[in-house]
Amino acid sequence: MLRSAPLGRYQFPVLAPEYSTWGEEQQAWRNTALFYDLSFHMLEVYIKGPDLLRLLSDVTANNVSNFGKNRGKQLIACNHEGQLIGDAILFGLEDDECVVVGTPFAPDWVSYQAATGGYDVEVFRDEGVGTYNRRGFRYQVQGPNTQQIVQKASAGTLPDIKFFKIGEFTIAGHPVRALNHAMTKLPGLDQTGLEIYGPIEYRDEVKAALLAAGEEFGLKEGGALSYSTTGIPDGWLPLPLPAIYSSDKLQSYREYLPAVAPEASISLGGSFASDNVEDYYVTPWDVGYGKVIKLDRDFIGAEALRAAAEQPHRQKVWLRWNNEDVTQAWARSLFSDTPTKTFSVPNPVYSTCQYDAVLLNDEPVGVSTWTAYSRNVGGFSSLAMIDADQARDGTEVTVIWGEPNGGSGRPHVEHHIQIPIRATISTTAPE
């Protein structure tokens, strides 16, 4: 079902593809600052009640004992076998209230647990994804000039906000909050980022104030094309397949999800092809969360994770793709009688969940996922999950580009041949 689903890669709603050019927008997050409107594409689930902390503690693999008002936290949701369902960000609104923000997989899982687990909480799902009919707005200002821009837009009310903490202030006379986190971390640079949010009725005035304040500091507005590339410098590995499709323990969860849920329509593509859906499941270690999971407490999946803690894992790495090989793949997709898979720029990913096989000495050692071109790097890079004993800086591997047997026949997958592309492993983000 997943390999034949007609969807291509995720398309960000409402955002224009570009507001200047995607390359200039990428350079702005490194050199000046960039503004993204994040109000449309993420599911937001509001949870309030005396059992909030107990619910969150039961569903996430990291420690949330100190979570509360004006704190941010990661949510790392696993199934009972310790495989990742999804991740999200928790925004503490009050000590007994938060909003879960992210791709649908983790918020859906939390909603289900809240509804079926006997917790004393109320849940409101903001289902206005892709529309202006939402409870609030959400803006990201990212880059070295962020503090000066927001300080000016706030008329000096911006407080000192520590990393992954939330501050309250005003913009254009309206109350807002901001989470301090960086979407596009770059080595050696002060990459402050603020995710600013507030009630929907203030969205236009707050946005206008931020853009006006940013004029003297080189602020640019970012579109969907550049936004699709932010995961690479940030190191966030987006959209691994949620591990929900095979376990008998999750039968009731699958029945709980509506037929139109994203989990029922996402596409699975790439050169890694297996008949066993569990071969696409990942663990928190595989995607880089090994340092933040806490196994000295009980939560869904804790027993399985404790049993697997000393076993070999995969490691999240960056792959810097070989320029000559990419050029050959690109040219053959356009001019050859035996074309390769189309290589779109800046993001050639063509499935919701992309898994491309990575080989070392012709042996499989992992999968490459999200791929993008960066003007700051001057080439293509991808995030990958590689067998930890092979994840060494400078090691050359091969990414297989294109699907087996001429492609899957989905609307976004034309008939093509596979081609090998050399890539070099790095355990730090490419510069």
**Contact present, 360 and 317 (Cβ < 8 Å):** no
* Distance (Å, whole) CA 353 – CA 69: 34
* Distance (Å, whole) CA 110 – CA 10: 22
Start-to-end C-alpha separation, the chain: 38
* Distance (Å, whole) CA 14 – CA 132: 9
For residue 33, give the nearest of 168, 146, 148 by alpha carbon. Answer: 146
DSSP H or E segment with residue 26: helix 22-31
**Contact present, 39 and 237 (Cβ < 8 Å):** no
* Distance (Å, whole) CA 380 – CA 325: 11
Please indicate if the annotation marks 195 as binding a ligand: yes
Judged by DSSP in three states, 173 sits in: coil
CA dihedral 230, 235, 239, 241 (to 10 degrees): 160
* Distance (Å, whole) CA 341 – CA 9: 14
Let me know how long the chain is: 431
- The residue type of 297 is R
Binding site for substrate, residues? 195
Binding site, residues? 195
